Structure 1
Amino acid sequence: MTLNRRAFIGTTAAAAATLTTPMVRAQGRPRVVVVGGGAGGATAARYIAKDSQGAIDVTLVEPTRTYYTCFFSNLYIGGFQEMADLGHGYGTLASDYGINVVHDWVVGVDRDAKTVALASGGALPYDRLILSPGIDFVEGSVPGWSIENQDEMPHAYKGGTQAELLKAQVMAMPEGGRYAMIAPPNPYRCPPGPYERITMVAHALKQNNPTAKILIVDPKAKFSKQALFEEGWQKHYSGMIERIGPDFGGDNVEVDPAAMTVNIDGVVENVDVCNVIPAQKAGRIVHEAGLTEGNWAPVEPESMRSTMDENIWVLGDSSSQGDMPKSGYSANSQAKVAAMTIRGELTGSNVFPARYSNTCWSLIATDDGVKVGASYEPTEEKISSVSSFISQTGEDAALRRQTYEESLGWYSGITTDMFG
């Protein structure tokens, strides 16, 4: 399947339900509060506001005024995008869709009173609440590293300044220096993401520091698109990249940010840059709201509604929903189902059976793009994959270029779908 900006927006529009006459409650418009302005939250807010035609009062709470997407940040590190290309504002959501955009932190959820507390003071009442805060990190998952060390050993797994910091460190490496990545355990945001990052760091080093070396320390025996990445590493960056998996100690690692060392199963390695991507969990506010089991928030497969509170939905990376990967595309797809369900409950509009989809593109070298994706449907137990596809090794250059160009069209399409 080939996807461009127009096709992406067209497929997303087809998922929206046709409205009947809104049944607005007598005391005023029903209120929906959305926490988190990324692929899940911004999409849900826009679709609820747009398709309810003003019948629902929508408030979006997001601390940043400019949202930098985590997806495509690897391409920034590789030199294929500028950071400004990844930044998006919320002005259109406010001006064209009537969404009340609040730039603040949510510090608490009172599920009994149905209010969210803001860091600046005061509370926002809701009839339905959507939580889409992305990820946080599991403290102590990489011994020696904590969030206080993120400037010395960046994670760069949230969009914006961390990606800028990591790129600056890579570009400042000494000639013939060494870059190390501590890869995360499953599950985590964007399964191909760490390995696309390796290719983009390799691309940048090949241009500027061709004798540099890359070390991947990985607790997983296998990873997403492994054959495609390994083929690409051999073809474009031969001799530059070494991966240590769990069989050789990749699951027993400790770092020392002050000394800039990585201890792999007792063997200490000196490095010049260390990109630590820790184990992950649902965003803080989801835990504080009491909506998690372990690290993630379970949801109903047919709607993305929390299994613990009938008035709350959890979207994207924070949710535990089944087979869908934690990706921007997944969050966008889930947001439309949630928006349709909430709109149906609050206005009496039609609700259609849920359908979900995802595609993850990765760039290996100039014009060498690969992808993996699937379609999904809800079952009683989870969201289940019903069909899938993946790029193949040995594809010709024209197809790989087309796949990369398709990813550019998708990025344009999804950011328009999110931010209007």
Structure 2
Amino acid sequence: MSINRRRMLQSAGAFGLAALAAPPVFGQAKPRVVVVGGGPGGVTAAKYIAKDSQARIDVVLVEPQRQFTTCFHSNLFLGGYRSFESITHGYDKVSAASGFRMNHQAASRVDRDKKEVLLADGSRVGYDRLVLSPGIDLKYDSVPGWGREHEETMPHAWRAGPQTQLLRRRLEAVPAKGVIVMIAPPNPYRCPPGPYERVSMMAHVLKASGRADAKIYVLDPKETFSKQGLFQEGWEKHYPGMVEWLGPKIHDGIKSVDPKTNTVVTGFETYRDVALVNVIPAQMAGAIAREAGLANASGFCPIDPASMRSTMDPTIYVVGDACIPGDMPKSAFSANSQAKVAALMVRGELTGASTFPARYTNTCWSLIETDDTVKVGGRYEAKDGKIAAVETFISQTGESADLRKQTQAENMGWYSAITADMFT
């Protein structure tokens, strides 16, 4: 058993022990928990509430898709390190093993007064507790000239699935000496190191296929980005002259894009006839959470850091990318960790099970080139009104090739462990 898988299972086991306690507080009728969203946060919450309550809670997971393609490691698919099938997972095994029910419909609205979730077919599912994990929505008006209707021409690929496959096809079609322009997102957004790992994978594919004369421009609205020194060291080492990162003081803002001509205009320069424009727009919590009145002016949902409970509604928990996670990044690892805390607290409320103080963990790995992987992460607790970092770590520049190779082995081991934890 790998180290990462062992740690994942040990963490799960610790949460599971707390479920062995008193009978349901609702008498003979089972309390019901509805979970909306089948990503890392939602499926984890559904699994641990159902499994560790030992069938004392009726758990329904509402998710329209029958298979889930992970955003995490989708960059490795882009770079040719993973197959698409290897990042795509179904729900049958985990629902059968854990005892929760699947409802493969879209959740259209939350009626907080009646404590019901409205489904796409017009039916309603009542809940005693609701766990929302709707992920992110894209702000289609955040890049001038680009909108929902331009996703095919200038793909974002920030929701995994067909967009991921489209981006790979578009990358494969970039000609020798071709130009790629990535428009990076402003904070906060899903997976802080994700755009820069994607740049690395694009450069890897171009170089490996004899197109090292191509150029990738990263137009960033941020002054700095996650693991910046590590990425820039890697780009210079592996892809000299191929990647140019431009911060806002250099490019002077994105003025417009023209999907018809693949043109990007900044305050400093105009990029014409670009072979591939990858627009990653600004983001916000999924619509169902916002429309339920659970988000604040930031577009994301404030939560109690000790429980993941919404500060807007005591019967609702928000986990994953949609919440305001304090010092934690918006990552799959974070969502999985937050969901286990929410599951623990929900079980405590509905069955009288004991609980213990919330503890969170996260690590984000990024592949720069074959066997050259870096990481950042930490441990977190509820402190000073937020989820606060109590210990952090990050790879260092100049690390040995052996250490970087070991870090990539950890990366692959973690993916196997977390997807097994989520989907089996």
Give the total of aligned pairs.
419
User: Could you say which residue in structure 1 is the equivalent of 2:409?
Assistant: 405
Alpha-carbon distance in structure 2 between the residues aligned to 1:238 and 1:263: 25
Q: Would you say the 8 A contact 1:217–1:250 is kept in 2?
A: no
In the TM superposition, 1:270-289 aligns within 5 A as 270=272, 271-289=274-292
Kindly indicate whether residue 362 of structure 2 is the aligned counterpart of residue 362 of structure 1: no
Give the CA deviation at 1:8. Answer: 2.2
Give the CA deviation at 1:281. Answer: 0.3
Q: Would you say the 8 A contact 1:40–1:132 is kept in 2?
A: yes
Structure 2: unaligned runs, 5 residues or longer:
none
User: Could you say which residue in structure 2 is the equivalent of 1:11?
Assistant: 11
In the TM superposition, 1:24-103 aligns within 5 A as 24-26=25-27, 28-103=29-104
Alpha-carbon distance in structure 2 between the residues aligned to 1:123 and 1:362: 41
User: Could you say which residue in structure 1 is the equivalent of 2:24?
Assistant: 23
Query: 371-380 vs 20-29, which deviates more?
Result: 20-29
User: Could you say which residue in structure 1 is the equivalent of 2:253?
Assistant: 251
User: Could you say which residue in structure 2 is the equivalent of 1:204?
Assistant: 205
Describe the shift of the 1:203–1:344 C-alpha distance in structure 2 as closer, same or farther (beyond 3 A).
same
Query: 210-219 vs 16-25, which deviates more?
Result: 16-25
Q: Would you say the 8 A contact 2:284–2:300 is kept in 1?
A: yes
Kindly indicate whether residue 399 of structure 2 is the aligned counterpart of residue 395 of structure 1: yes
User: Could you say which residue in structure 2 is the equivalent of 1:147?
Assistant: 148
User: Could you say which residue in structure 1 is the equivalent of 2:306?
Assistant: 302
String of CA shifts for 1:39-87, please: whole Å, max 9, x gaps: 1000000000110000000000111111000000000000000110000
Query: 19-28 vs 256-265, which deviates more?
Result: 19-28
Letter in 1 for 2:219: V
2:333 counterpart (329, 346, 351): 329
Alpha-carbon distance in structure 2 between the residues aligned to 1:7 and 1:357: 11
TM-score by length of 1: 0.98
Q: Would you say the 8 A contact 1:40–1:331 is kept in 2?
A: yes
Give the CA deviation at 1:302. Answer: 0.2
Kindly indicate whether residue 109 of structure 2 is the aligned counterpart of residue 105 of structure 1: no
Kindly indicate whether residue 221 of structure 2 is the aligned counterpart of residue 219 of structure 1: yes
User: Could you say which residue in structure 1 is the equivalent of 2:129?
Assistant: 128
Give the CA deviation at 1:250. Answer: 5.0
Alpha-carbon distance in structure 1 between the residues aligned to 2:334 and 2:7: 17
SS in 2 for 1:15: helix
Q: Would you say the 8 A contact 2:252–2:268 is kept in 1?
A: no
Kindly indicate whether residue 417 of structure 2 is the aligned counterpart of residue 417 of structure 1: no
String of CA shifts for 1:265-296, please: whole Å, max 9, x gaps: 16320211010000010011101111010210
Moved over 6 A (4+): none
Q: Would you say the 8 A contact 2:251–2:266 is kept in 1?
A: yes
Alpha-carbon distance in structure 1 between the residues aligned to 2:358 and 2:403: 32
Letter in 2 for 1:116: V
SS in 2 for 1:344: helix
1:233 counterpart (223, 232, 235): 235
Give the CA deviation at 1:93. Answer: 2.4
Q: Would you say the 8 A contact 2:47–2:95 is kept in 1?
A: no
Alpha-carbon distance in structure 2 between the residues aligned to 1:376 and 1:392: 21
State, as a whole percentage, how many aligned pairs show the same letter: 55
Structure 1: unaligned runs, 5 residues or longer:
none
Give the CA deviation at 1:4. Answer: 2.2
Q: Would you say the 8 A contact 1:47–1:336 is kept in 2?
A: yes
Give the CA deviation at 1:11. Answer: 2.7
Q: Would you say the 8 A contact 1:29–1:56 is kept in 2?
A: yes
SS in 2 for 1:40: helix
Give the CA deviation at 1:3. Answer: 4.3
Give the CA deviation at 1:357. Answer: 0.7
Give the CA deviation at 1:17. Answer: 3.8
Q: Would you say the 8 A contact 1:182–1:217 is kept in 2?
A: yes
User: Could you say which residue in structure 1 is the equivalent of 2:324?
Assistant: 320
Query: 207-216 vs 307-316, which deviates more?
Result: 207-216
SS in 2 for 1:369: strand
Kindly indicate whether residue 260 of structure 2 is the aligned counterpart of residue 290 of structure 1: no
Q: Would you say the 8 A contact 2:66–2:90 is kept in 1?
A: yes
SS in 2 for 1:418: helix
Alpha-carbon distance in structure 2 between the residues aligned to 1:230 and 1:323: 24
Query: 161-170 vs 249-258, which deviates more?
Result: 249-258
Describe the shift of the 1:253–1:414 C-alpha distance in structure 2 as closer, same or farther (beyond 3 A).
farther
Give the CA deviation at 1:21. Answer: 3.0
Q: Would you say the 8 A contact 2:171–2:276 is kept in 1?
A: yes
Give the CA deviation at 1:322. Answer: 1.0
User: Could you say which residue in structure 2 is the equivalent of 1:157?
Assistant: 158
Give the CA deviation at 1:24. Answer: 4.9
Alpha-carbon distance in structure 1 between the residues aligned to 2:57 and 2:212: 56
Alpha-carbon distance in structure 2 between the residues aligned to 1:367 and 1:120: 48
2:315 counterpart (311, 324, 331): 311
Give the CA deviation at 1:210. Answer: 2.0
2:386 counterpart (378, 382, 385): 382
Give the CA deviation at 1:381. Answer: 1.3
CA-atom RMSD, angstroms? Answer: 1.2
String of CA shifts for 1:366-399, please: whole Å, max 9, x gaps: 0111000010000241110011000000010110
Give the CA deviation at 1:416. Answer: 1.1
